[in-house]
Amino acid sequence: MPQKTPTTGQCALCGNEFSKRMMTTHLASCDKRSVKKKAGSAFHIIVEYPYNSRYWLHIEAASNATLRQLDDFLRDIWLECCGHMSAFRIGDQGYSAPQAIVETGDRNMNIRLDAVLIPDLTFQYEYDFGSTTELVLSVLSQGDPKTAERVALLARNSAPVFPCIQCKKEATDLCVDECLWENGPEGAALCKKCSREHKCDKEMRLPIVNSPRTGVCGYEG
């Protein structure tokens, strides 16, 4: 069941904090642009984790950037742990890395964004076809760029705070043994002290990080 939790985040351009709901409005008018903008237009995209609304990103991607460059950005900021394969699905068409194309029938990710994206389009992304992290991306607009990067962060959710399940202090780790699978992250969160005393296997711990991949596979941020 998707979790809907009110969240805030920080604008990467001006540093101010806004609610998730207000961030889109703020970014449309934020005047703290890079000194040097890239030529051409750019897409404003919001990236969301459909199973927990506390995780979201606003990003800007140059219209002539590629899906591969968008994939690299998502891996770097939120996902990469063990070099897993990934894919986008836009409409009825999939786009994967070359090594996955033969078995999936997808097209290559080395395609420009302006060849496949338009404003108001919503599309999907998956990282890791075993312990899969699914994301939903929505194209909010296409217009003048605010940054000089090919793909850049515009805003990100504030890091969620998990109370320790034993002492209620701020947690730092997740028990990824039976606790996580039975109770989800909120039921597996432990502070450092309680983590050492917890009944489950002491080797089965991962750090709590600001990513929907927290507690999955070997992801440590």
Model confidence over 162-196: pLDDT tens digits?
999 999 999 999 998 888 888 888 899 999 999 98
Contact 104, 96 (CB under 8 A): yes
- Specify the pTM: 0.90
Distance, in Å, from the CA atom of 156 to the CA atom of 162, rounded to the nearest integer, reads 18
Q: Please state, in angstroms and as integers, the Cα–Cα distance from residue 216 to each residue in 13, 46, 221, following that order.
A: 30, 23, 11
Q: At 115, phi and psi to the nearest 5?
A: -90, -15
Q: Provide CATH 3.10.290.30 ranges for the chain.
A: 8-157
- Topology given in CATH for the domain delimited by 8-157: 3.10.290
When comparing pLDDT for 198 and 137, which is higher? 137
Q: What is the tens place of the pLDDT at every residue in 49-87?
A: 999 999 999 999 999 999 999 999 999 999 999 889 999
